[in-house]
């Protein structure tokens, strides 16, 4: 079933829950999509009063290790009122994978890389949580950070709805 943003808001509008969960968002370099997902998810959880969910983001490749969130990604987060902190891109480790309840990737390439390195039990694509079999648009190649934001928000809203139903 494919959910619309309106459907997802119905599930999540009045949630107040205490959960114990560790979610790691993952993309290629951890400077655009996965940190955007981290901070969008934190905002959605906070807005709904959902506590006890640890949310982080990591990279699958070493290209941008140590770099902060890419400026255009920060600009779109700012435009949507999503707060973020100073951070540095970091590689997903085996220990972080082992301690995560969910490892959520942005696209099919990330999915294959994560499954190959860590196994597939915990790995899912973000938009699958909104009932969509698609990749989160990669703004590194398209320069469309607004589309990436929209995809990420939809996937995170679906994920919040799942958490509220569990």
Per-residue pLDDT tens digits for 61-112 = 999 999 999 999 999 999 999 999 999 999 999 999 999 999 999 999 999 9
- Residue 92, strand partner residues: none
pTM comes to 0.89
Q: Residue 101's domain is classified under what CATH number?
A: 3.40.50.2300
Crossing angle of helices 145-165 and 5-12, rounded to 10°: 40
SS3 content of the chain, % helix, strand, coil (to 5): 50, 15, 35
Structural domain contains residue 103: yes
* Catalytically active residues, by annotation: 27, 33, 138
Average pLDDT, the chain: 91
Q: Whole domain around residue 40: which residue ranges?
A: 21-165
In total, the chain counts a number of residues equal to 166
Residue 1 lies in a domain: no
> Looking at the domain assignment, is residue 51 inside a domain?
yes
Token pair belonging to 43: 């905002």
Number of independent structural domains in the chain: 1
HSE of 148, CA atoms in CB hemisphere, 13 A? 25
pLDDT at residue 164, rounded to an integer: 87
Closest CA to 154 of 134, 165, 97: 134
Structure confidence by residue, pLDDT tens digits, 16-52: 567 789 999 999 999 999 999 999 999 999 999 999 9
> What's the number of CA atoms in the CB half-sphere (13 Å) around residue 98?
3
Q: pLDDT of 103-159, one tens digit each?
A: 999 999 999 999 999 998 999 999 999 999 999 999 999 999 999 999 999 999 999
Is residue 68 one of the residues assigned to a domain? yes
With a cut of 80, say whether residue 12 has pLDDT above it.
no
CA–CA dist 34, 92 (Å, integer): 12
**Structural domain contains residue 3:** no
């Amino acid at each position: 079933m494919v959910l619309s943003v309106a459907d997802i808001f119905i599930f999540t509008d009045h949630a107040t829950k205490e959960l114990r969960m560790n979610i790691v968002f993952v993309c290629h370099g951890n400077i655009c999509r996965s940190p955007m997902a981290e901070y969008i998810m934190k905002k959605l959880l906070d807005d709904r009063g959902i506590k006890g969910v640890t949310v982080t983001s990591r990279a699958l490749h070493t290209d941008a290790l140590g770099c902060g969130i890419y400026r255009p990604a920060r600009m779109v987060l700012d435009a949507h009122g999503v707060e973020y902190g100073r951070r540095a891109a970091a590689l997903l480790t085996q220990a972080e994978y082992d301690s995560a309840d969910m490892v959520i990737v942005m696209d099919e390439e990330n999915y294959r890389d994560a499954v190959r390195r860590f196994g597939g039990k915990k790995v899912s694509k973000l938009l699958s949580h909104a009932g969509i079999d698609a990749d989160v648009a990669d703004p590194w190649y398209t320069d469309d950070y607004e589309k990436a934001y929209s995809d990420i928000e939809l996937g995170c809203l679906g994920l919040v709805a799942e958490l509220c139903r569990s």
